[in-house]
Structure 1
Amino acid sequence: MTEAFEISGVPSEGGVLIVVDHASSHVPDDIDLGISPQYQQDHIAYDPGIAPIARLMTEHGGYLAILSTASRLIVDLNRYPDEAAVIVECSDGVEIPGNHLSAEGRQARLDRFFTPYHNRVAALIADLKPVLVASLHSFSPTLRSKPEMQRPWDMGIMYNQHQTAPRLALQFLGEEDGLIIGDQLPYSGKDLNATMNRQCEAIGQPYIGVEVRQDLIREEAGQRRFADILLRSCDKIRTALA
């Protein structure tokens, strides 16, 4: 584990690489965000439930994961480095005073957390040549700032231009009993896909973006259920792509 990322699983060529941009709610001791402690365990700080799913998946051969080790309130790894929201000043109605930084302060955050993480993702893809990259996230069923917006899907599949693997994912997940699957929901991968755009779209690397609803995976039983679902689907996609 480093300050920016941790690796779970055993590296192997031609497998599945899992990328978890918002795995951790950790805020380093030397950074004061100026927010109530309750928000450090809120969905604005990380993607609840998704890191355990990634780790469960890497208990199986052919699966390796890279997970962030700092809160998305420190730096949002699924943004572009020159985007204002890479260090967010307000999230779902919560002001983040400690993120009102100078240009030098912003660059220091990027150098400390963003760049090492993305460099390692790129190196893993180059070295391991995975058949599939799975970018895992979780989403809140409701937002404080938009309480009228309901997100009833169990899982969503995101993508941008490269659609072969996502179409397979939608097909295979559709075979799972009782799952409500969103195609480009709860939002579109054409709008919010920075990590996969940079790391996969740019080089033609097959990938899927996955969003799982947070209230379904806060407990171990739900995490194991969705880890198993994703393993089955990723194994089928890997076979279809080979």
Structure 2
Amino acid sequence: MSDCSPAASSSDPNHLPAAERIDGAAGGVLLLCDHASNHVPADIGLGVLPALLDLHIGYDIGAAALTRSLASRLAAPAVLGTVSRLVIDLHREPDHESLIPALSDGHAIPGNREVDRPARVERFHIPYHAVIEQAVQDYRPELVVAIHSFTPRLASDGRERPWQVGILYNQDTRAAHPAIRMLRERGLVTGDNEPYSGRELNATLNRHAEAHGIPSMSVEVRNDLIGDADGVAEWATILHDAIARVHAELAQ
């Protein structure tokens, strides 16, 4: 069930909580989904066409539905972001240059050119990561898995991305390497720190997993494979099996 604390029960659409927490069983897997939502609060003007928010620059297509399905199948807790990455990218350090992007995959975001950066951090970034920190304390997870999706190609360069799924990691490979092996054994085209490297962009897991010595990995699924309910169901089955096996292998 979702967290029902006062901060998570606001009825004002301009001041929704920065995170949704789904509770689950303790001592297993914690799921995170930084880019779950393309929501833009009504009091924030990005200056972009609404249709852009339905593209990858607005959120990770299919990632929220996949995270919810995995949470149900694994009986796992999860934390999901509730605002578009164009408002603030929750998967960046507070001082990162693209935290509040003025340009995203070739699209200008004029409303972000002059913005009160500390206010956005205070309103969205700090409370989102506080919810994750609390979940780590409450559940003491043995494995943290971040769920993302990626585009078959970037609009800015047009290059094809051949992978069906990628597993990303920084220094801790305890979860990532077995997951890559398992997915490749299923015949899936699996990226090893592709379509980008977790050694370069791994902010959430660096902070909430690796810093605490908790095994972790980021799972990137190509978004055309999880753009509908059938695709989500198929990949939830695939990833449930992989995550459960990685968790069991870590426990040995």
* TM-score when normalising by structure 2: 0.91
CA distance in 2, matches of 1:24, 1:62: 22
Give the Å deviation of 1:164.
0.9
CA distance in 2, matches of 1:74, 1:195: 17
Percent of aligned pairs sharing the same letter: 44
1:24-80: CA deviation from partner (whole Å, max 9, x where unpaired): 000011111000111111100100011101111121353111111100000001111
Give the Å deviation of 1:186.
0.5
CA distance in 1, matches of 2:202, 2:166: 13
Q: Does the 8 A contact of 1:14 with 1:62 survive in 2?
A: no
Aligned to 1:169: 179
Give the Å deviation of 1:175.
2.5
- Segments ≥4 residues shifted beyond 4 Å: none
Aligned to 2:134: 123
Q: Does the 8 A contact of 1:157 with 1:181 survive in 2?
A: yes
Q: Which runs of 5+ in 2 are unaligned?
A: 1-7, 9-15
Matched, 1:159 2:172: no
Find 1:183's aligned residue among 185, 192, 206: 192
Q: Does the 8 A contact of 2:74 with 2:240 survive in 1?
A: no
Find 2:146's aligned residue among 135, 157, 170: 135
CA distance in 1, matches of 2:104, 2:69: 29
CA distance in 1, matches of 2:233, 2:28: 21
Give the Å deviation of 1:21.
0.4
SS in 2 for 1:138: strand
Give the Å deviation of 1:12.
2.3
SS in 2 for 1:164: coil
Paired residues in the alignment total 237
CA distance in 1, matches of 2:40, 2:162: 31
> Which of 1 and 2 has higher RCO (CA within 8 Å, sep 6+)?
1
Find 2:50's aligned residue among 34, 37, 46: 37
Q: CA RMSD in A?
A: 1.1
Give the Å deviation of 1:173.
1.4
Find 2:157's aligned residue among 131, 146, 158: 146
CA distance in 1, matches of 2:44, 2:236: 33
SS in 1 for 2:146: strand
Q: Which amino acid aligns with 2:72?
A: E
CA distance in 1, matches of 2:177, 2:201: 18
SS in 1 for 2:218: strand
Find 1:207's aligned residue among 212, 216, 220: 216
Aligned to 1:227: 236
Q: Does the 8 A contact of 1:45 with 1:72 survive in 2?
A: yes
